[in-house]
Amino acid sequence: MKGIVSILFCLLCILSNAQNKIGAIGKWRAHFDNHSIQLVVKGDYVYAASPYQIIRTDGVKNNWIDKTTGLSDIQIKHLAWDENGQQLIVVYANSNVDILKGDQVYNTNAIQLTSLFPDKKVNTLRVYQNWALLATNFGIVIIDLVKHEIKDNWFPNNNQQSVTTYDALIANDTIFASTSNGIWKCSIANANLQASQWIHLTGYDSYLLKKLIQHKGNVYGYNAQTIIQFPQTTPLFNFSNGVINNIDTSVSNLNICIQYPNQKGAVLQLNKDLSLATLVDSNQLSTPKQSIVENNNFWVADSTKGLLLKNNTTKWVPLGGPNAIIQGISDINESKLIAPFANANTGYATFNEGGWNTVKQIGNFTLPILNATAISNLDNTIWLASNNFLFHLTNESKMETLQPNSLKGSYLQLQVDPSQNLWVLQDQQGLAKQANNTWGSISLPNDFIKNGLTQFVVNKLGQAWLIAPNHSGLYVYQEKTIYPSEVWKQFTTQSSNGNLPSTYVTSLCQDLNGSIWVGTDNGIGIFNCGDIATAPCNAYLPIVNNNGFNGYLFQKEIVNCISIDGANRKWIGTNNGAWLLSPDGIEIIEHFTKANSPLPNDTVTQILVQPITGEVFMNTKNQMVSYRGTATKGAETQASIQIFPNPVSSSFNGNIAIRGLVDNALVKITDLNGKLLFQTVALGGQALWNARNSEGHKVATGIYLVFVRDLSGNEKGVGKIMIADGY
């Protein structure tokens, strides 16, 4: 089965050093960490691959090729370059295959879709003339690289039965295969015949030689410690210390990627006299997986550190993205995204339109593992939370370390409230608050479970909403700012005490109207509470229609996260992808999954919305991607606006964005004679026009006027749009 997907590979024509730039409305871009480089091959450029992304590089400038730019899948397992066809072959962990040629991606998914074999894993990929040879767990598959389709499949035995095939290569018109039943060979002219044409090479079965290589007319087999040159049955070379990860045969001698204990590695050269020379030592490498020589450049793919380039100097090639998987609680504002790595990785990463930057050290201080971050909207400074300390960064090199109290318990999350007070969630204790540069602790009541706090949100009423430990609902703290009484409350599923859809609360968010949206393992509840000390507070459970049946919103679905865009619409992250809902939650506007979008995983753990651009960052169980949304934050007053793209080509088929509007402004588009062609209401601070009139017809080339009526009823012309040929 073959499909052709046209993609914009203009990025591949000129290599760029910057991250992929933000695209038009509805476009995606990837934010993958590229420290784990598993593969490197040489073609028209050097191609290196992490599990999620291919990097096309010359050592200075890079391009990124991934699911957001046309690849069919994630979990890249094998790469090979077809010199005859000038194309790159990509094999994924699920046995899907892409062939990248020019501005097209040819997808060959027959192996992935077949039901003939229960185990379809592809173990190796090689190119021979116009064929791609895939050694799989059922045999050898041949892909025709001219027609981009399956040509044949061979079983390296004489009973035509499937057999686990670890590797296959063709040398001197003979195919060699390493299988679970030993080493076999056959003339390629007879490989698919029913007769007994395959020959079992005896003397090798005890070595379990899974990898094969061809070098200067000779064929070798190797395992973790031993290299054997056929037809000899005694080892050519044995390694007593270290494991062979891979052998490169593109040079005069064999270059061997060796893995030592304790995450140390090296690339060694095996000379003709069987002596060893060190090309790159363990001071540089950790887990070398593959090496190639390209001109005078020596490249090494290291699955822990990245891509190493050695020529006159030795350096790690900057590959973009954060330095590790982001697993902490991130924050975003109009100028930057701050993402702590958490778990086992120290430091954090920052992102703006200049790209990603990883921060492990501030001055002489090495940052610890960080759990969460918060950005102050007053002065744009950064707060970071670790198990034992808080850190306040006033600029890139100046930091103060704070400890709100001496109580036991990790600092898990931070929030700066509208009054610029800093709130901190502390496990085993409750809350800490800094107001007027003074810290105070707000302890949980003695009868509340304290161990296992995870997340909280502070609303505009001076109420802090906490996810209670052990699936016991919500804790709500009300201070004496708006209301006269300080009080703690616990909300559960009882109809008179919270009315939660489940006590297993998973996420919290405050929307633009001040409502608290609560996600659980059984849907969503919405709170609009006053003084919780004097009046009951119960959740409203939205009812939606799904395929003709009414049910509660996200009933029986785990809601991992909730976020709000500039139009007060709700972005919901679940184990079934990301959802965009109307402000009231009743209408489903978008539903993205890994099947219909570039999401790398359906488990979406955190969503952040950039207020000015409307870009929606979705962190998943694997990696992060972003989507250019349609809503932005509304302006305080109607002043200047931004229109993009502008000018617009007459062949343009996307949306023209009009940004910088006040919330829910009425936008009208007219021609120069004042004839109304289109009107809409802004989504937050942004309106979209598809260059069509109210009847759906494309407008002619010319100048068009933009008028905006703000919330007070004032209307004024604020912009012009030019549609012309040649742009």
* Residues 327 and 268 both lie in one domain: no
Residues 316 and 337 in one domain: no
Question: What would the two tokens of residue 294 be?
Answer: 């390209």
For residue 687, CA distances in Å to 42, 584, 608, 658, 667 come to: 46, 20, 21, 5, 7
Predicted local distance difference test score (pLDDT) of residue 5: 37
Domain end, chosen from 297, 320, 343, is at 320
Q: Quick check: is 442 in a domain? A: no
pLDDT of res. 726: 72
Q: Please state the domain count of the chain.
A: 4
Confidence band of 382 (pLDDT split at 50, 70, 90): very high
Give residue 195's pLDDT band: very low, low, confident or very high (50, 70, 90): low
Contacts 24+ apart (CB under 8 A), 583-589: 583/511, 584/542, 585/517, 585/524, 585/526, 585/542, 585/544, 585/553, 586/542, 586/544, 586/553, 588/544
Q: Based on the domain organization, do 4 and 126 belong to the same domain? A: yes
Q: What is the mean pLDDT of residues 176-191?
A: 92
Same domain, 255 and 342: no
> Is 374 inside a domain boundary?
yes
Evaluate whether residue 620 is within a structural domain: no
User: Do 264 and 413 sit in the same domain of this protein?
Assistant: no
pLDDT tens digit sequence for 116-128: 999 999 999 999 9
Residues 149 and 42 in one domain: yes
Domain final residue, candidates 320, 344, 359? 320
pTM value is 0.91
> Tokens standing for 459?
């609303």
* Same domain (yes/no): 286, 330: no
CATH number at residue 680: 2.60.40.1930
pLDDT value for 295: 85
Mean pLDDT of 375-404: 91
pLDDT number for residue 472: 97
Whether residue 201 is contained in a domain is answered as: no
What is residue 635's predicted lDDT score, i.e. its pLDDT? Answer: 85
Tell me if 568 is assigned to some domain.
no
Phi then psi for residue 11, to 5 deg, are -60, -30
Rounded average pLDDT over 56-82: 94
3-state secondary structure of 12: helix
**pLDDT at site 11:** 33
Q: What tens digit of pLDDT does each residue of 523-549 get?
A: 999 999 999 999 999 999 998 877 667
The arrangement of strands across the sheet holding 264-270 comes to 243-248, 254-260, 264-270, 276-280
Show which of 86, 121, 154 is a domain's final residue. 154
**Residue 6 banded pLDDT, cuts 50, 70, 90:** very low
pLDDT in the model for residue 19: 57
| C-alpha closest to that of 286 among 326, 247, 316, 249 | 316
pLDDT reading at 4 higher than 50: no
Do residues 482 and 490 lie in contact, with contact meaning Cβ atoms separated by under 8 Å?
A: no
pLDDT tens digits for 351-368? 998 899 999 999 889 999
User: Is the same domain home to 302 and 359?
Assistant: no
Task: Give me the CATH number covering residue 401.
Answer: 2.120.10.30
Confidence of residue 2 (pLDDT cuts 50, 70, 90): very low
Determine, yes or no, domain membership for 192. Answer: no
CATH value at residue 97: 2.130.10.10
CA-to-CA separations, 547 to 254, 550, 551, 575, in angstroms, rounded = 62, 8, 10, 20
Q: How far apart are CA 36 and CA 305, in angstroms?
A: 6
193 pLDDT higher than 80: no
pLDDT mean across residues, the chain: 92
| Diameter of the chain measured on Cα atoms | 92
Percent of the chain at pLDDT above 90? 82
- The stretch 603-625 carries a mean pLDDT of 96
pLDDT at 47 over 50: yes
62-66, 424-428, 557-561: which range is least confident on average? 62-66
Do 405 and 316 lie in a common domain? no
Please indicate, yes or no, if residue 539 is contained in any of the structural domains: no
Residue 10 has pLDDT above 70, yes or no: no
Q: What letter does residue 13 receive in the DSSP assignment?
A: H
Indicate if 141 and 80 belong to the same structural domain.
yes
Whether residues 1 and 136 share a domain: the answer is: yes
DSSP per-residue letters across 329-365:
B-EE-SS-EEEE--TT-BSEEEEETTEEEEE-EETTE
Res 294: pLDDT = 86
Q: Are residues 336 and 359 in the same domain?
A: yes
The position carrying tokens 């090639």 is 317
Mean pLDDT, rounded, for 465-489: 96
Lowest mean pLDDT among 249-258, 275-284, 472-481: 249-258
For 337, the domain range is 323-417
Q: Is residue 384 part of a domain?
A: yes
